[in-house]
Amino acid sequence: MKQNITLSIEKNLIKKVKILSAKKQTSISQILSQEMEKIVQDSEQYERAKQRAIAHLRRGFHMGDNAPISREQLHERKGLR
Protein backbone atom coordinates (compact mmCIF):
# COMPACT_ATOMS: atom_id res chain seq x y z
CA MET A 1 0.00 0.00 0.00
CA LYS A 2 1.38 3.38 -0.97
CA GLN A 3 1.07 6.53 1.10
CA ASN A 4 1.79 10.14 0.27
CA ILE A 5 4.23 12.18 2.35
CA THR A 6 5.18 15.84 2.41
CA LEU A 7 8.81 16.89 2.17
CA SER A 8 10.57 20.22 2.49
CA ILE A 9 13.34 20.38 -0.09
CA GLU A 10 15.44 23.28 -1.33
CA LYS A 11 14.13 24.72 -4.62
CA ASN A 12 17.53 24.39 -6.27
CA LEU A 13 17.61 20.67 -5.47
CA ILE A 14 14.06 20.20 -6.76
CA LYS A 15 15.05 21.76 -10.10
CA LYS A 16 18.02 19.41 -10.40
CA VAL A 17 15.92 16.37 -9.50
CA LYS A 18 13.27 17.34 -12.05
CA ILE A 19 15.95 17.41 -14.74
CA LEU A 20 17.36 14.09 -13.54
CA SER A 21 13.94 12.44 -13.49
CA ALA A 22 13.22 13.69 -17.03
CA LYS A 23 16.54 12.25 -18.25
CA LYS A 24 15.74 8.92 -16.60
CA GLN A 25 12.14 9.05 -17.84
CA THR A 26 10.78 8.49 -14.36
CA SER A 27 9.18 10.53 -11.60
CA ILE A 28 10.71 12.31 -8.65
CA SER A 29 8.54 10.10 -6.46
CA GLN A 30 10.04 6.97 -8.04
CA ILE A 31 13.60 8.27 -7.61
CA LEU A 32 13.00 9.09 -3.94
CA SER A 33 11.27 5.77 -3.33
CA GLN A 34 14.17 3.82 -4.86
CA GLU A 35 16.77 5.76 -2.89
CA MET A 36 14.88 5.33 0.39
CA GLU A 37 14.54 1.61 -0.30
CA LYS A 38 18.30 1.40 -0.91
CA ILE A 39 19.00 3.21 2.38
CA VAL A 40 16.78 0.76 4.28
CA GLN A 41 18.35 -2.28 2.56
CA ASP A 42 21.87 -1.03 3.30
CA SER A 43 20.94 -0.48 6.94
CA GLU A 44 19.45 -3.97 7.22
CA GLN A 45 22.53 -5.54 5.57
CA TYR A 46 24.79 -3.66 7.98
CA GLU A 47 22.79 -4.88 10.99
CA ARG A 48 22.92 -8.51 9.77
CA ALA A 49 26.68 -8.27 9.19
CA LYS A 50 27.13 -6.69 12.62
CA GLN A 51 25.18 -9.49 14.30
CA ARG A 52 27.25 -12.14 12.44
CA ALA A 53 30.48 -10.43 13.53
CA ILE A 54 29.33 -10.27 17.14
CA ALA A 55 28.37 -13.97 17.02
CA HIS A 56 31.84 -14.85 15.66
CA LEU A 57 33.51 -12.86 18.43
CA ARG A 58 31.40 -14.56 21.09
CA ARG A 59 32.28 -18.01 19.73
CA GLY A 60 35.95 -17.14 19.49
CA PHE A 61 38.41 -18.22 16.87
CA HIS A 62 40.20 -21.54 16.47
CA MET A 63 43.90 -20.78 16.71
CA GLY A 64 45.30 -24.26 16.11
CA ASP A 65 45.24 -27.75 17.61
CA ASN A 66 47.75 -27.15 20.40
CA ALA A 67 46.57 -27.43 23.96
CA PRO A 68 46.60 -24.21 25.95
CA ILE A 69 49.99 -23.33 27.44
CA SER A 70 50.17 -22.64 31.15
CA ARG A 71 51.57 -19.35 32.42
CA GLU A 72 54.59 -21.21 33.78
CA GLN A 73 55.30 -22.85 30.43
CA LEU A 74 54.86 -19.57 28.61
CA HIS A 75 57.42 -17.81 30.80
CA GLU A 76 59.84 -20.72 31.11
CA ARG A 77 63.31 -19.83 29.86
CA LYS A 78 66.17 -22.18 28.99
CA GLY A 79 68.79 -22.56 31.68
CA LEU A 80 66.99 -20.44 34.25
CA ARG A 81 65.26 -23.33 35.96
**Residue 78's pLDDT band (boundaries 50, 70, 90)?**
low
Residue 80 has pLDDT above 90, yes or no: no
Does the pTM surpass 0.85? The reply is no
pLDDT digits over 60-77, tens only? 877 776 777 778 877 876
Burial (0-12, 13-18, 19+ Cβ within 10 Å), 45: exposed
Question: Which pLDDT score, from 0 to 100, does residue 72 have?
Answer: 82
Determine contact, residues 18/28, Cβ cutoff 8 Å: yes
pLDDT digits over 15-45, tens only? 999 999 999 999 999 999 999 999 999 999 9
